[in-house]
Structure 1
Amino acid sequence: MKKPYIIKSVLFVAIMTLMQSCFVAKDYEAPKGTTENLFRTESTDTTSIASVPWNKLFTDTILQQHINECLQNNLDLKIALQNIEAAEATFKQGKAGYLPSVTANASLTHQELSSNSQFGRLFSSLDQYELSAKLSWEADILGKIRSTKRAALAQLLQSNAAKQAVQTELIATVSSLYFQLLAVDAQIKVVTKTLENRTESVEVIQALKKAGNVNEVAVKQTEAQKYATQIILKDLEFNRKVLENTFSQLLGKVSGTVNRSAFETQKIEAHVSAGLPVSVLSKRPDVVSAELNFRSSFEQTNVARSFFYPSLTLNATSGLQALELKQWFSTNSIFATVIAGLTQPVFAQRQNKTRLEIAKANQQKAYLQYEKAILAAGKEVSDALASYENETSKLAIRKNQLEALTQAANYSDELLQYGMVNYLEVLTAKDNALNTEINYIDNKYKQMNAVIQLYKALGGGN
């Protein structure tokens, strides 16, 4: 290659590099979603339960082991990790957009020429050997490559946020199921003890019948009450097996017995505070994912807009070319070609306009999805707070109710022996006491679960 051509090529590349500074793509601005009065609470506490690590919120060591096992073995989480790997590959591809593409070529061309052709009178055949390399590079004068890279980065971060959302969901689900299992265990203990008492009650009522204090109807009603308790026990035992099966599936294991502690020892030590709305925006993975999706679609709109403007490319080819193999490595066999081009789209069958319209529609859709995610976050936090307040209030009332009904049941047994109440009053008092005790345990579980749901709603667990 002649020296003047080399100088011109270098100068042209330098000019194209400087033109990259003419970035016409719009700068990204985060969407301004609704943040005022995002959820119903009078709290102004800037700390949030979501900032508490999950192993500090759930202090049961057995539960901690289950959560760790779930995070290692759960199939949904493994799928999310594969999505991250795919997004990382796409991001690397986007970063490589600034680099030139280089291809190598080695070829042997053999031609049999017609005797009546222009060159056939001189050569009957023609062989050509070629070894070359081609370099292609596009100057990012309009920011198309830059926007593509930023869109790929947003997609990578979005896939990571999706993984965090799966992790948050798993921690909340495992914890909720674990406490539900413990609650069922506690209910089974209550019903089993009640069944023993009601078996004794049948013997007592039979003795009272022999003494003439009650009739056969009382005996049958007491027996029926015992059978009803047995049915309740069977249903609870069935529920326990179903919960264990679901729990095992979450941990990526076959169905089986779940190791656990006692319900009476459980207590979630945490100051229940929603924090300010900013906590929801910064912690909830689905809100983060929605914002990143909007960012990606915004950059894709920049890319679509750049197709309306010229593209500046540089193509350079160099190598060895000879008609005879023995001359292949001669300096006279060296050839080189440099082509710099400026391409302006004129008519592309509406493809560019369609691409931009679709990109804008996707961007608006992503913004609406972001707004929807924020509103959903506010509702979930409001629901969890209301549930916690409701269950806490009910728990205090239920405790008083349980104490009153337990005393009433005990008094009715004593009064029945003296004939001061009838058997229906005794049965009613005992049924009410049993149902209230079962409901009290369920009440306590719902209070714990409300804390878990609030933790999840605020994006905790990451």
Structure 2
Amino acid sequence: MASCIFYAGCKTPALVQSPQVKAVAPTYENNSDTSNTADIKWQEFFKDKYLVSLIDTALKNNQELSITLQEIEIARNEIRSRQGLLLPKVEAGGGIGIEKAARYTSQGAGDASTDITPGKEVPEWLPDYRLGAYATWELDVWKKLRNSKKAALDRYLATVEGRNFVITNLIAEIANAYYELLALDNQLDIVKQTIKLQQSALEIVKVQKQAARATELGVKKFEAEVLGSQSLEFDIQQKITAKENEINYLLGRYPQPVARDTTGFLSLTPSQVAAGIPSQLLKNRPDIKQAELELAAAKLDVNVARAEFYPSFNISAGVGFQAFTPGYLVKFPESLLASLVGDVAGPLINKNAIKAEYYNANARQIQAVYNYERTILNAYIEVATELSNLKNQQQFYTVKSQQVDALVKSIDISNDLFKSARADYFEVLMTQRDALESKLELIETRLHQFNSVTNIYRALGGGWK
């Protein structure tokens, strides 16, 4: 029987080989500089004191981050659980019972002829008092329990990296929302300035109408332009409120004004970034390290599932006292009982359930390989895309600034020509409209620059250290 068990246990099904992880690209656009912005702490990377204060508050109060911390605690407790399986299980206890043996049985017939004391038989209803300790221990011959504990440890470390990834994304999300809020503030100021300019032009065309130099059509056109800008003002104000509430949500607090410096957004300069080389992503990106640890745990799960085919070795022991009256319970050695048993057991036939779990573990391992590879690829593409975006946004901002300067000058020229009747109201309206749109686009471009820098910092794995 032992030979059959060992033979059946050692015969395990063949597995599909896991794919090899592809190597990461050597550089970004032939850049071999190893300086990496991800090594900078977020308190040093972001210079705005209001933004630093918001991020600090979010790291203390954000609910999603708090949920992630509890996941870490759950994973830590799983390690304790796996550790406990490696140690003997010891229980102590006692019990009281009563038993009646049937007379026409071997036990009943024997009891009828046994005297407890001279002249007395064993009672028909016999009490039973027990007090003792019991221990069971599975010998980890095939490292099933140890591999299970290592897998739990890897998953615990993966949850820690998951927390770091949440921190990185949270910091970037708050920074992007904060810069969007600053951009909306500046767009609101530009719209208000444009409304004043349009109202001034409206007064001029009304005077010209009284002097028969303009028509009612011109007046209505200017009025419509003012009303359109005023509606845009209310729309931006609503966007500001929504963005403030979004930031408050990330900070885990109820709606309230967000402290910030609303002046000079266009004069702010985004931080310089250094992407380093792609291989640095493997140690800086928390999601990559998380996927790597999950892959290591999945490999250990395969070993654990394979060990289920092998025989298990168990030792059980017990020691205590047992008697039919409390007075005899502590009588030594007559009431002493002890046992020591060693057994071996393993699957022999109908191993479909074990095979299924074995194949599932292998499939999950292959999934983990692909997930690890996908995470690396996604990280590389994120960095490469944002680097290209930042480069193009810088060039776009330079050209857009020149356009805004030209349109601002054209407003003064069109107003002078309109006052001297050398330009009609349509040219003035179009000039003002084009200038407003280009100013708003210029702010959007500056916002995209800040967002791109923040996204690069996040993509490189910065923020969690």
- Under a length normalisation based on structure 2, what TM-score does the superposition of the two structures give? 0.89
- Tell which deviates more after alignment, 379-388 or 197-206: 379-388
Distance 1:187 1:372 in 2: 40
> Does the CA-based 8 Å contact 1:205-1:214 persist in structure 2?
yes
Q: Which residue of 2 aligns with 1:306?
A: 307
Distance 2:279 2:229 in 1: 50
CA gap of 1:270–1:34, structure 2 versus 1, over 3 A, is farther
Distance 2:268 2:418 in 1: 40
- Tell which deviates more after alignment, 348-357 or 55-64: 348-357
CA gap of 1:97–1:112, structure 2 versus 1, over 3 A, is closer
Q: Secondary structure at the match of 1:109?
A: strand
Distance 2:134 2:112 in 1: 34
Q: Which residue of 1 aligns with 2:54?
A: 66
> Does the CA-based 8 Å contact 1:43-1:273 persist in structure 2?
no
Distance 1:35 1:436 in 2: 45
Distance 1:223 1:375 in 2: 55
> Does the CA-based 8 Å contact 2:27-2:277 persist in structure 1?
no
Q: Which residue of 2 aligns with 1:118?
A: 109
1:361-440 mapped onto 2 (5 Å cutoff):
361-440=363-442
CA gap of 1:84–1:264, structure 2 versus 1, over 3 A, is same
Q: Which residue of 2 aligns with 1:93?
A: 81
Distance 1:397 1:435 in 2: 15
CA gap of 1:268–1:396, structure 2 versus 1, over 3 A, is closer
Matched, 1:107 2:95: yes
Q: Which residue of 2 aligns with 1:78?
A: 66
Q: Which residue of 2 aligns with 1:164?
A: 164
Please report how far the alpha carbon of residue 120 of structure 1 lies from its aligned counterpart in structure 2 after TM superposition: 4.9
- 1:293 partner amino acid: E
Q: Which residue of 2 aligns with 1:280?
A: 281
- Tell which deviates more after alignment, 217-226 or 432-441: 217-226
Distance 1:38 1:241 in 2: 45
Q: Which residue of 2 aligns with 1:23?
A: none
Identity %: 30
> Does the CA-based 8 Å contact 2:24-2:376 persist in structure 1?
no
Please report how far the alpha carbon of residue 270 of structure 1 lies from its aligned counterpart in structure 2 after TM superposition: 3.4
Matched, 1:336 2:338: yes
Please report how far the alpha carbon of residue 114 of structure 1 lies from its aligned counterpart in structure 2 after TM superposition: 3.8
Q: Give per-residue Cα distances to partners, 1:353-392, cap 9 Å, x unaligned.
A: 1111111011111111111111211221122112211111
Q: Give per-residue Cα distances to partners, 1:408-446, cap 9 Å, x unaligned.
A: 111111111122222211111111111111111111011
Distance 2:215 2:26 in 1: 64
Please report how far the alpha carbon of residue 53 of structure 1 lies from its aligned counterpart in structure 2 after TM superposition: 0.8
Please report how far the alpha carbon of residue 208 of structure 1 lies from its aligned counterpart in structure 2 after TM superposition: 2.1
Q: Which residue of 1 aligns with 2:6?
A: none
Q: Which 4+ residue blocks in structure 1 deviate beyond 6 angstroms?
A: none
Q: Secondary structure at the match of 1:37?
A: coil
Q: Give per-residue Cα distances to partners, 1:203-252, cap 9 Å, x unaligned.
A: 11112223333322222221211111112111111111111121111111
Unpaired runs of 5+ in structure 1? 1-29
Please report how far the alpha carbon of residue 399 of structure 1 lies from its aligned counterpart in structure 2 after TM superposition: 0.6
> Does the CA-based 8 Å contact 1:183-1:263 persist in structure 2?
no
> Does the CA-based 8 Å contact 2:270-2:449 persist in structure 1?
no
Q: Give per-residue Cα distances to partners, 1:248-276, cap 9 Å, x unaligned.
A: 11111122321111252574663312211
Q: Give per-residue Cα distances to partners, 1:324-367, cap 9 Å, x unaligned.
A: 32222222122221112222321244122111111101111111
Distance 2:269 2:419 in 1: 45
Q: Which residue of 1 aligns with 2:226?
A: 226
Distance 1:228 1:348 in 2: 78
Distance 1:263 1:101 in 2: 68
Q: Secondary structure at the match of 1:309?
A: coil
Please report how far the alpha carbon of residue 307 of structure 1 lies from its aligned counterpart in structure 2 after TM superposition: 0.9
Distance 1:274 1:215 in 2: 60
Distance 2:67 2:268 in 1: 33
> Does the CA-based 8 Å contact 2:99-2:125 persist in structure 1?
yes
CA gap of 1:243–1:249, structure 2 versus 1, over 3 A, is same
Distance 2:80 2:254 in 1: 39
Distance 2:328 2:427 in 1: 116
Q: Secondary structure at the match of 2:349?
A: coil
- Tell which deviates more after alignment, 342-351 or 36-45: 36-45
Please report how far the alpha carbon of residue 175 of structure 1 lies from its aligned counterpart in structure 2 after TM superposition: 0.7
Distance 2:176 2:402 in 1: 26
Q: Which residue of 1 aligns with 2:205?
A: 205
Matched, 1:151 2:139: no
- Tell which deviates more after alignment, 251-260 or 403-412: 251-260
- Under a length normalisation based on structure 1, what TM-score does the superposition of the two structures give? 0.89
CA gap of 1:224–1:57, structure 2 versus 1, over 3 A, is same
- Tell which deviates more after alignment, 204-213 or 31-40: 31-40
- Tell which deviates more after alignment, 347-356 or 289-298: 347-356
- 1:119 partner amino acid: G
Please report how far the alpha carbon of residue 279 of structure 1 lies from its aligned counterpart in structure 2 after TM superposition: 2.0
Q: Which residue of 2 aligns with 1:24?
A: none
- 1:99 partner amino acid: L
Distance 1:150 1:268 in 2: 48
Q: Which residue of 2 aligns with 1:255?
A: 255
Distance 1:212 1:318 in 2: 117
Q: Which residue of 2 aligns with 1:181?
A: 181
CA gap of 1:329–1:31, structure 2 versus 1, over 3 A, is farther
> Does the CA-based 8 Å contact 1:321-1:328 persist in structure 2?
yes
- 1:131 partner amino acid: L
Equivalent pairs, count:
434
Please report how far the alpha carbon of residue 32 of structure 1 lies from its aligned counterpart in structure 2 after TM superposition: 5.8
